[in-house]
Structure 1
Amino acid sequence: MPMVPSNNPNTNQRPINWLIIVLASGIIALLIACILWLKPKDAVKTANPLPHDAASTMPSGVLPSHQTATLANASSVSANADPLPISLATSLPKSLQGTQVDGEIIIDENKQLVVTAGLRRLFDYFLSAQGEEPLTQIEQRVIAYIREHTPEPAASQAVNIFQNYLTYLTAVSQLDKPKVQQNPNVSALDLSAIKNQLRAVQQLQARYFDAKTREAFFGDEQALNDYNMTVVEANQNAQLSNDQRQAIIDKAQTAYIASVNDPNLQTKLTQQRNIDKLLAQTQQMQQQGATQSQINAMRSQYVSPEAVKRLEQLDQSEAQFAQRVAAYQTQSNQILSKLGNVPQAQQQIVALQQTMFTPEERLRLDVLTKQR
C-alpha cells in the first residue's frame, strides 16, 4: 500500500523525509513499480492463474485472478481458459516459481479488452524477473500467456498495450532524474525540478496510451503525486500559519483518499489518517495538561473503547517509565558528584540501570541519554 505522509505539520518530519525520497530520488521507481491495488468495476472474465501446484497466497487487497465479476448491462462469461502450457510454466525464473500470477485480463461480453490496473500488475509480475533473464524472453512469455488465456480481439489489444508499456518504461528510464542532496529536507527540495519530471512522465504516458489506459494504469499514482506535492508545497510555504498549513494538507488528504478506487486501501488510508490525528491531539492535550478522561474522550472519536483502554494503560506505563528515568538521572548525578567520572562510578551507574530497568528499557534509556 502506498504510504500517506502525516497530515500534521508539527509531527510531519519523518514522513516528509520519506516523501522527499519518493518524489526526488525515487520518482522513476514509483511510477514503474508502485502499484495501488484496484478491484475493477467493469469486469466480466479474468485470466486463469498458474496451475494450483504453482500457486501461493495472493497479497492482501488483490482480486484473485480466477474470480469472476459482472459488467453492467452485460452477460457474464464463465468459461475457463486452458492451464499455462507446460513449457512456459516450467521455464519460469526462480523468483516466480511457486507463485501465483498477479493481475488479471478482463474482457466484456463482446470479447473486447477492459483495461484495468490488474492488467498492469500482470505485466509487472512477469517484468519483475528482469535481471534473471533477458527482456526478450520475458516479452515472449507475457505474449504467450496473454494469447493462451484470452480470446481475440482482446488478446491482440492486450499484447499491443504490453508492447507500448515496454517502450514507455524504456523512455521513462532515460529521463534525467532530479538531483537531490544526500540528506534532503523540505526547504532544500527543488519543486520545479520534480514538477518537470512528473510532467515529462505524463507526456510519455499520453504518447503511448489512450486516456482510459492512462487512468487505469497511472490514475492512482497521479492522485498520490498530487497529494504529496501539495504537502511539500505547504510545508515549504513560510507565510502559512500552522492552522492554514494544516487546513491545506487536510483538504488534500481527504481528496486523495476519496479518489482511491480500492475500498480496502481507502479504509486503511482513513485509519492511518485517524491515527495521525489521534497521536497529534494526544501530544497537544498532554502538553496543555488535559486530564486522562479528556484524552480518553478525544480518543474515542477515532478508536474503539477497547483501544482507548489499552492506550490509557500505555499512558500509565509511559508515565511510570518517565518517573524511573528521572529518579535514575538524579541518582546517577549524585554518584558522579560524589566519585567523579571514574570507573568505579560508571560501574555503580551500570548496576543502577540493571536494577531499575529491563533490558528493553535500557535500550530506550541509552537513546534518551544520548539525546540529552
Structure 2
Amino acid sequence: MNYLKWTLPVLIIASIAAYLWQGGDPASDVAAMPNSLDQSPSNSSARKFSAAKVKENAGNASMVAERLLQEANKIDVSNTDLPSSLRGTEVDGGFRVDDEGNLIVEIGIKRYFDYFMATVGEESLAEITARIHRSISTQLQEPARSQALAILQDYLSYKTALYELEQQYGEFNPMSFSESQIPQLTERLDAMFNARRAHMSDSVVEAFFAEEEAIDRYTLERLTVMHNSGLSEAEKANKMAQLEQMLPEHVREQRAEATQYQRYAAEEARLKNNNASPAEIHQLRAQEFGEEGAARLAALDEKRAAWDQRLQQYRAEKQQLEKSGLSEQDLGPQINELRARHFSEVEIRRVKALDRIADS
C-alpha cells in the first residue's frame, strides 16, 4: 500500500478550489487534453461508492487502524529524534480539556495529528502513530486521554478508508477538467463525506471538517454554474453571488480581503512599471489601506530591501568560499560561520531552506 498518499487528505475538489479561488477556469485552455477519469458508464458504475458501500468497507479500515495502534504500542519513541522535516518547527494544534477533564473536540486536534502524519516516508506509520500516542498519554489525564485515543483510532480508520477511495476513483488531474466530470466529482465528494461519517462521530466530523466541507460544496456548485450553458453571464453572476452565502462568514471576509489585495497589487505593479514616484505609491496605499497601512507597507519595503541586501552579500561570500578549493569537510563549518555572521538563529533556518532550493 502506498502510504505516502494515505497521509494526505484526498480533497476531491481542493485543487480546483484553489484555482477558482483566484477566479480561474480550470477548463479554459485544456479542453483538448484527455480526461483523467474514464467516463465510460460501466466504469463509472463500478466506481460508485455509496453510503452503504462505505459502511460495508468500514470494518476493514477499522481493523487496519486497530493493528496500527497495537504495533505503535510496541515502539518506544521517547529517545528518538524527530524527523528532519519537523526539526525547528512548532507543533501545530494540540489538546484542550474542559473544567471536568473532558477533551474539547476542535480542529486543533486534527491539525496536531496531521502535523506528525505529514512525515510519512521519513518514518513508518507505526512510528508516527507511536509519537502521537505517546504525546496523548503524557499530556492528558483521564477521561481526556481515552477520548483522544479513541478519536485517533477513528481518524486512522478514516485515513485508511480515504486511501481505499483514492484507489477506487484513481488520480484526479484538475488540468484536464471538463464539464462531463461534474457528476463524478459529486460522487467522489459524497463518498468522502460518507467515509468521514462512517468512521468518526458527528461531533468530530463537525469540528474537523465543517469549514472544509462548506468550501468543497461551494466549489462544486460554482463549477456547476460556471459550466451551465443554459445560463446567461448575468444569471451566472447572480447565482455566484448567492453561492457566496454558503461559505462561513470569516471565509467570505478572507476572500474579500484577498480580492482587495489582488486589485491593489495589480495597480501597484502598473504604477511601478510606469516609474511612479514614491509619493504616488504612498497615495495608492493610503487609499486602499489608510495612512497607517501605508506606513506599515513602507516599513515592510525597507525591511525586505535590507534582507535582500544581506542575502546578496551572504551569497557572494558563500560563492567565494565554494570556489576557494576547500574540502567538503572544511567547507561546511565555514558556511555555518558565514551564516551566523549575517543572520539570526531564526533567519538561519530560512537561509538554509533557500540554499537547498538554490542548490536543487
Q: TM-score, normalised by structure 1?
A: 0.50
1: CA distance, partners of 2:94 / 2:201: 19
Task: Give the drift of 1:272.
Answer: 2.0
Asked which structure has the greater RCO (Cα within 8 Å, sep 6+), the reply is 2
Corresponding residue for residue 270 of structure 1: 256
1:6 and 1:155 map into 2 onto residues whose CA distance is 41
Match among 172, 184, 192 for residue 201 of structure 1: 192
Q: 1:177 aligns with which of 169, 175, 200?
A: 169
- Find 1:155's aligned residue among 134, 141, 145: 145
Aligned to 1:225: 216
Q: How far 1:90 moved relative to its partner? A: 4.4
How far off its partner does 1:146 sit? 0.7
Retained in 2: the 8 A contact 1:143–1:159? yes
- Tell me the SS of whatever aligns to 1:121: helix
Residues 1:128 and 2:118 aligned together:
yes
Q: 1:190 is aligned with what amino acid?
A: Q
- In 2 relative to 1, CA 117–89 (structure 1 residues): closer, same or farther, beyond 3 Å? farther
Partner of 2:91: 101
Question: Could you report, residue by residue, the CA deviation over 1:119-153 in whole angstroms, capped at 9, with x for unpaired residues?
Answer: 00000011111111111111111011011111111
Q: CA deviation at 1:274?
A: 4.0
Contact 1:7–1:250 at 8 Å: present in 2 too?
Answer: no
Q: Match for residue 139 of structure 1?
A: 129
1:277 Cα offset (Å)? 7.8
Q: Bigger radius of gyration, 1 or 2?
A: 1
Higher helix fraction (1 or 2): 2
**Displacement of 1:98 after TM fit?**
2.0
* Match runs of 1:161-310 below 5 Å: 161-175=151-165, 176-177=168-169, 183-185=175-177, 187-258=178-249, 260=251, 267-274=253-260, 303-304=288-289
Determine the C-alpha separation between the residues in 1 that align with 2:27 and 2:288.
22
Give the AA of the match of 2:120.
Q
Between the aligned partners of 1:238 and 1:278, the Cα distance in structure 2 is: 33
- The letter for the 2-side match of 1:106 is R
Calculate the aligned-residue CA RMSD, in Å. 3.7
- SS of equivalent residue, structure 1 residue 174: helix
Q: Which residue of 1 aligns with 2:24?
A: 12
Percent pairwise identity: 26
Aligned to 2:82: 92
- Change over 3 Å in CA distance of 1:14–1:172 after alignment to 2: closer
Count of aligned residue pairs for this structure pair: 217
After superposition, the C-alpha distances for 1:207-245 in whole angstroms (9 at most, x for unaligned) are 111111001111111011011111110111001111110
- The runs of 5 or more residues in structure 1 that have no matched partner are 19-23, 26-85, 261-265, 283-298, 309-372
Give the Å deviation of 1:16.
Answer: 7.8
Over 3 Å counting, the alpha-carbon distance change for 1:17 and 1:169 in structure 2 is: farther
Unaligned runs of 5+ in 2: 1-13, 31-35, 38-75, 268-283, 295-360
Q: Residue 268 of structure 1 aligns to which amino acid in structure 2?
A: Q
